Amino acid sequence: MIAVLQRADAASVRVDGEIVGAIGKGLLILLGVAEGDTREHAEVLARKILACRIFCDEDEKKNLSVRDVNGSALVISNFTLMANCRRGNRPDYVGAAKSEVARPLYEYFTELLARELHTVQTGRFGAHMDVSLQANGPVTILLDSYALMQKREK
CATH number at residue 135: 3.50.80.10
**How many independent structural domains does the chain possess?**
1
The C-alpha atoms of residue 79 and residue 65 are separated, in whole angstroms, by 26
Mean of the per-residue pLDDT values for the chain? Answer: 95
Statement: residue 3 has pLDDT above 90: yes
Give the HSE-up count for residue 71: Cα atoms under 13 Å, Cβ half-sphere.
29
pLDDT at position 93: 93
Euclidean distance between CA atoms 116 and 79, whole angstroms: 25
Q: Is 66 in a helix, a strand, or coil?
A: coil
Biggest CA-to-CA distance, the chain:
48
pTM: 0.94
Domain containing 22: what range?
Answer: 2-153
SS3 105: helix
User: What is the arithmetic mean of pLDDT over 125-147?
Assistant: 96
| 146 class by beta-carbon count within 10 Å (0-12 exposed, 13-18 middle, 19+ buried) | middle
Query: How many helices (H) and strands (E) in the chain?
Result: 3, 8
Dist. CA 16–CA 145, nearest whole Å: 32
**How far, in Å, CA of 150 to CA of 80, rounded?**
23
CB 30 within 8 A of CB 106: no
Residue 114 pLDDT level (bands cut at 50, 70, 90): very high
- At 127, the pLDDT band (50, 70, 90 cuts) reads very high
